[in-house]
Structure formats: C-alpha cells, structure tokens
Amino acid sequence: MIGTAAWFFQRITGAVLLFGMIIHFWTMHYSGAEQITYEFVLKRISDPYWKTFDLILLASVIWHGLSGIWGISVEYAGSKDSSALLLKFFQAIILLSGLLLTVTGIYIIWATG
Amino acid sequence: MRYRWQTGYVAWLIHRGSGVFLTLYIFAHLYILTHLKNPEKYAELLLLLKNPLVKLGEIFLLAMVIVHACNGIRLTMLDLGAPTRTQKTIFIVLVVLGGGTLFLLGVWPIMGGAN
C-alpha cells in the first residue's frame, strides 16, 4: 500500500500505539512490586478485556512496523527498471513476516489462559 | 547526494533506525511469549530479566520506543500544520524534555526502583 492510504493508516496505528504502549508499559512495570511472574502474565492474558487490548495492539504494531519497512524498501529500491524484482523480493519477505507475526500473536492471545 | 546534518535529517535517520529496530524486536517479543504454556521454560526466560546486560538492553529498547514516539508526535504536528521553522524547537523540546522525563520514569522501575 502506498500514498495517502498508507500515510493515513500509519497515523492511525501510530496514535493507537502511542497510548497502547503507555498502558502496556505501565501495567508491566508500575502495578506493584515483583509482579512480572508467570501467574501475573497468565492472569492478565486470560482476561477478555486484556485479550481485546492485546489484539488491537498486536494488529497495530504489525501493521505500523511492516508498513514502515515497506516504505523504506520502496525508497531504497528507487524507480529503476531493475528495482521491480527487488521490490517483489521485499514484498514477499514483508508479507511472510506479517503472516508469521499474526499467526504467532493470535496463537499466544487465544491459546494461552 | 550529500546530506547535511540538520535537525530534520537527524530526526529522519533516528526515526528509521529505531523503527527498523523496534520491528525486529516484535519477533523476539512474540517468540518469548510462545513459551507461556510452559511455566518452567517461561520462568527460566523471565530470569533473563535479572541479567544486567538484559536490563541495559531493556533501557535501550525503552529509549528507542520513546525517541520513535516523540518523533512521531513531531511529524504529526508538522503534518497538521505546525510551521516548519518551529520544527527544531519541537524536536528539542520533545526529545530532551518529554523523552528525558519518560526515560527516567521508565529506567527507575527497570532498575528495581518501584519494588
């Protein structure tokens, strides 16, 4: 995806991540002494509200990160004739990464707790 | 092409570098979480967090997140129409004041201060 749509989605996911990361970080490091234990993490990930939160954060971070990498790839490849193949290569890696991260993330959120 | 070390270029470079780093970090983060079904293995991985080098890595990670977020805010402000001539001020205020404060707030619990 390029152009205005890419820019727009990058803004939206960026804003979600700005607030999401603050909450994410806050709960991991500020909610009490020595709480980052197995039980604590499992209890949190079992909560349907946290599951929803995690899913939104997961989708945003995968989109934002890979869309950014795609932007860099397009700029790096330039507009020469030879760049089409290179871009296809980058595109394949990015799509595979997105698939891998999405499947892994959903597995973690759904299968645990 | 020859680049000049101006605020916009430095910010652009930092944004790219931190962005690539953070994207790669998602892989490591999710990999560790796939062990959530196995308490022993997970507890073992959590012990890594007590390692001083890993703590240093966490602080670096936090710095990357803050710098990327602050620069993202700056880019959004410029997009929304903040005059370009103010971009250096925005950069300095966000990174030094905002970033510095957030960084200290984050380093504190990582070093065990909140316990």
Kindly compute the dihedral angle of the four CA atoms of residues B60, A13, A65, A72, in this order, to the nearest 10 degrees: -110
The closest CB to that of B42, out of A29, A38, A111, belongs to: A38
Number of compact structural domains in chain B:
1
3-state secondary structure of B92: helix
Helix (H) / strand (E) containing A109: helix A83-111
Q: Please write the tens of the pLDDT for every residue from A59-98.
A: 999 999 999 999 999 888 877 777 888 899 999 999 999 9
Question: What global pTM score does this model have?
Answer: 0.85
In a domain, A52, yes or no: yes
Domain annotation covers residue A62: yes
Which residues in chain B have their CB less than 8 angstroms from residue A42's CB? 36
Domain of residue B32, CATH code = 1.20.1300.10
Q: What is the CATH number of the domain that holds A32?
A: 1.20.1300.10
Residue range A14-52, pLDDT digits in tens: 999 999 998 988 887 666 555 667 777 788 888 889 999
Tell me if A68 and B42 make a contact (CB, 8 A cut-off). Answer: no
Tell whether B92 is covered by a domain: yes
Rounding to the nearest 10 degrees, give the CA dihedral for residues A60, A65, A66, A70: 130
Contact criterion met (CB < 8 Å) for B20 and A69: yes
Report which DSSP code applies to B2.
Answer: -
Within a domain: A24: yes
**C-alpha to C-alpha distance for B15 and A50, rounded to whole angstroms:** 29
